[in-house]
A and B are shown apart, each in its own frame.
Chain A
């Protein structure tokens, strides 16, 4: 009896097991789980990533597309992205592009053309003409758009307004500037604007570099004033070339002329470097090892009254000087000489991405009016006119926002200066259109660094830079030419 029962029991157990196995197999083969919509975005670690992770959650709620934000240290972000792009791995659906690299990446076929996506997007979602005009030039190559901007680091000037408004210091400046022998007579040669040598004016685009240099020298030499040095410069190995470019563009120079002849070693380029080297005398001694973080630290420590050509997105950091220096009042303005380095972080889609449509959804949202508004609320430097000029972010109307958005007007005005004063062929400057611009940009850091460190004269260094440009361009071997050789493919006009 017991035996019979146990046999029955065994049969039941076996039957149950068989049913479970069949059910499991059926589940595996028949059940199709919902496909997870996910995109990966390579971006800069730190503030950018924290913010991006937070804001992308809103996007996921809205669309169901999960965003995997991959924060990479800025110093190696380009190498890492380029290795994945060149390998066509599709590891990053969305890549972060610096304006100087766009032509190189587009020319290599690494980026997807966004025009077809933009054409299909309702105007309210993309509002393409709302993007600052110079980014619309910078992010196009060969007649196609390859990136949409989300973070600007255009340059202007940040300064201690309390010092420039102080009547005692203004009087000291007047006395100093009118004393014969104190001023350098060569500085009286006006370049763009009439030079004012006897009145301490706040720096902005209507001030030329000669006047700026005079002010830096005053603060450095006039020991009665509360700062020890005249100007903060990012003359370390990373950003000195951006400062030089700003001065050079302000003087009317460029890397290439309209016919792509190399002219960085022409008079304006050399003169810009001479000004830069002279300004270095009035900067803290650590300038040659400094980046923007160190300049902000010098400002917060009360060592400097003003920056040189400086990234306006650093305003939320620089304004903290008001917390560290009693009585300090910070302001920012358009770049001295009328030109600053122009650049932004833009988003593009990896041509090897298998999720291009979803990637574009995120890209469109983040760089669009809604995403950029959210970005501005989080303290980001937006690239859209509607956000820059939004009364909600105007410190005059909403003082609570001043510490995060007081630089917006300077960004807008600087953008307008490029738009209104640059000749058509310089929109953008030719260098941005050349597919090896990324390499030339790196090369310029080395040469400018050598000149700044006194290893070579401004003229000699600029000649070396021109030669390096020609070598990178492959214009003749072993002795390169400064002019495009016959057969060189001119970058497409747009």
Chain B
């Protein structure tokens, strides 16, 4: 191999990857940036024009729907994380014990991860229905009363969090299980000799050891819940009213129902930057733990 070939070979080898990254990531990103400075509405026959930062100004100053959607996104994310992380940890502990039928249990546990949210969301919509749904039947049988899950604005978000928890807690559990299975036995043996209780072992040995993995699972789930769209579309359509219209659903509405491509690009770019900043900070914090 000549010196020249040797010099250019690495570049040639990474060229396909660069083309893919540029074509699928950077080009759309710059395109979105371009559209965010225009008043593009693809249903309008009037050609779009450059409007500078007007879309951003509108977003920050006048769009109350957007700020409401942001609050709902944060509520959804916080609700999901608050339930899924402890629950996932509990399930991971259960799966880490030598139990009979553990393989079957694990297979069943990952089933929700294997189904498409858009399809299973339709089933959940029917299960939540007050007049025919099995969830209402169960809650009424157990508690004597049932919320009107998807029709009550106070409960619709809870219904979505429950659905998300059903689908994604196994994911958290699998990450944490990997962590638990990698823990060395020695610290536990020493702790047993010194008379530590199970709670003390968890508090002072297990938790510090798996904390980075908890952080990682939380970051993954946070990014995912912030951009959740499909189950919302399938279960509540953002309703009742706008009670479950999160930021991603609002983006879908203005981008693909109203086709305000200029404004939707501006909102999506800000959304993207916020997710990047928050996840970077969270990952760094998680790594330090």
Distance between Cα atoms of A439 and B253 in the complex (Å): 10
Q: Please determine whether B258 and A439 come into contact, CB atoms closer than 8 angstroms.
A: yes
Nearest B residue to A461, CB-CB: B241
Q: Please determine whether A286 and B148 come into contact, CB atoms closer than 8 angstroms.
A: yes
State whether the Cβ of A331 lies closer than 8 Å to any Cβ in chain B: no
Q: Which residues of A contact B242 (CB under 8 A)?
A: 446, 449-450, 455
Shortest CB–CB separation between residue A103 and chain B, in angstroms? 10
Q: Which residues of A contact B25 (CB under 8 A)?
A: none
Distance between Cα atoms of A284 and B239 in the complex (Å): 18
State whether the Cβ of A104 lies closer than 8 Å to any Cβ in chain B: yes
1/0 contact trace for A288-324 toward B, CB 8 Å? 1110001001100101000000000000000000000
Q: Which residues of A contact B258 (CB under 8 A)?
A: 439, 442, 472
1/0 contact trace for B208-242 toward A, CB 8 Å? 00000000000000000000000000001111111
Q: Please determine whether A442 and B238 come into contact, CB atoms closer than 8 angstroms.
A: no
Q: Which residues of A contact B58 (CB under 8 A)?
A: 478
Q: Which of B42, B133, B240, B256 contacts A288 (CB 8 A)?
A: B240
Q: Which residues of B contact A429 (CB under 8 A)?
A: none
Q: Which residues of B contact A105 (CB under 8 A)?
A: 43
State whether the Cβ of B271 lies closer than 8 Å to any Cβ in chain A: no
Shortest CB–CB separation between residue B276 and chain A, in angstroms? 27
Distance between Cα atoms of A289 and B234 in the complex (Å): 12
Q: Which residues of A contact B237 (CB under 8 A)?
A: 236-238
Shortest CB–CB separation between residue A328 and chain B, in angstroms? 18
State whether the Cβ of A108 lies closer than 8 Å to any Cβ in chain B: yes
Q: Which residues of A contact B130 (CB under 8 A)?
A: 284-286, 289
- By secondary structure, the A interface counts as helix
1/0 contact trace for A340-365 toward B, CB 8 Å? 00000000000000000000000000
Q: Which residues of A contact B62 (CB under 8 A)?
A: 478
Q: Which residues of A contact B132 (CB under 8 A)?
A: 286, 294, 297, 301
Q: With contacts defined as CB atoms under 8 Å apart, how many contacts are there between chain A and chain B in the complex?
A: 112
Q: Please determine whether B241 and A449 come into contact, CB atoms closer than 8 angstroms.
A: yes
Q: Please determine whether B259 and A82 come into contact, CB atoms closer than 8 angstroms.
A: yes
Q: Which of A294, A446, A450 contacts B131 (CB 8 A)?
A: A294
State whether the Cβ of B190 lies closer than 8 Å to any Cβ in chain A: no
- By secondary structure, the B interface counts as loop
1/0 contact trace for A442-466 toward B, CB 8 Å? 1000110111111110000000000
State whether the Cβ of A287 lies closer than 8 Å to any Cβ in chain B: yes
State whether the Cβ of B129 lies closer than 8 Å to any Cβ in chain A: yes
State whether the Cβ of A11 lies closer than 8 Å to any Cβ in chain B: no
Given contacts A289-B128, A294-B132, A478-B62, contact A237 B257 (CB under 8 A): no
Distance between Cα atoms of A447 and B61 in the complex (Å): 22
1/0 contact trace for B34-68 toward A, CB 8 Å? 00000000111100000000000010011000000
Q: Which residues of A contact B42 (CB under 8 A)?
A: 82, 86, 108
Q: Which residues of A contact B238 (CB under 8 A)?
A: 237, 446
State whether the Cβ of A401 lies closer than 8 Å to any Cβ in chain B: no
Q: Which residues of B contact A236 (CB under 8 A)?
A: 151, 237, 239
Q: Which residues of B contact A36 (CB under 8 A)?
A: none
Distance between Cα atoms of A442 and B256 in the complex (Å): 12
**Chain B 138-191 interface residues, beta-carbon cutoff 8 Å to A:** 148-153
Q: Which residues of A contact B239 (CB under 8 A)?
A: 236-237, 446, 449, 453
Interface residues contributed by chain A, number (CB under 8 Å): 42
State whether the Cβ of B243 lies closer than 8 Å to any Cβ in chain A: yes
State whether the Cβ of A267 lies closer than 8 Å to any Cβ in chain B: no
Shortest CB–CB separation between residue A443 and chain B, in angstroms? 9
State whether the Cβ of A194 lies closer than 8 Å to any Cβ in chain B: no
Q: Which of A83, A298, A455 contacts B241 (CB 8 A)?
A: A455
Nearest B residue to A83, CB-CB: B256
1/0 contact trace for A28-53 toward B, CB 8 Å? 00000000000000000000000000
Given contacts A82-B259, A286-B151, contact A449 B44 (CB under 8 A): no
Q: Which residues of B contact A237 (CB under 8 A)?
A: 236-240
Shortest CB–CB separation between residue A320 and chain B, in angstroms? 16
Q: Please determine whether A285 and B151 come into contact, CB atoms closer than 8 angstroms.
A: yes
Q: Which residues of A contact B153 (CB under 8 A)?
A: 453-455
Q: Please determine whether A82 and B43 come into contact, CB atoms closer than 8 angstroms.
A: yes
Q: Please determine whether B241 and A450 come into contact, CB atoms closer than 8 angstroms.
A: yes
Distance between Cα atoms of A21 and B238 in the complex (Å): 64
Nearest A residue to B62, CB-CB: A478
Shortest CB–CB separation between residue B264 and chain A, in angstroms? 13
Nearest A residue to B151, CB-CB: A288
State whether the Cβ of A109 lies closer than 8 Å to any Cβ in chain B: yes
Q: Please determine whether A108 and B148 come into contact, CB atoms closer than 8 angstroms.
A: no
Nearest A residue to B133, CB-CB: A286
Q: Please determine whether A109 and B241 come into contact, CB atoms closer than 8 angstroms.
A: no
Q: Which residues of A contact B259 (CB under 8 A)?
A: 82, 86
Q: Which residues of B contact A289 (CB under 8 A)?
A: 125, 128-130, 148-151, 236, 240
Nearest B residue to A80, CB-CB: B256
Q: Please determine whether B151 and A108 come into contact, CB atoms closer than 8 angstroms.
A: no
Q: Please name 15 pairs of A and B residues whose Cβ atoms are closer than 8 Å in the assembled complex, sorted by A.
A: A86-B259, A237-B238, A284-B130, A286-B129, A286-B133, A289-B125, A289-B150, A294-B129, A297-B131, A297-B132, A438-B43, A439-B257, A447-B241, A453-B153, A455-B240
Assuming A289-B149, A478-B62, what are 16 further A-B pairs, CB within 8 angstroms?
A: A82-B42, A104-B43, A108-B43, A108-B44, A237-B238, A288-B150, A289-B129, A298-B131, A301-B132, A435-B43, A439-B258, A442-B257, A449-B242, A453-B239, A453-B243, A454-B153
Shortest 9 CB-CB distances between A and B: which pairs?
A: A450-B241, A288-B151, A453-B240, A286-B130, A237-B239, A286-B131, A237-B237, A289-B151, A86-B42
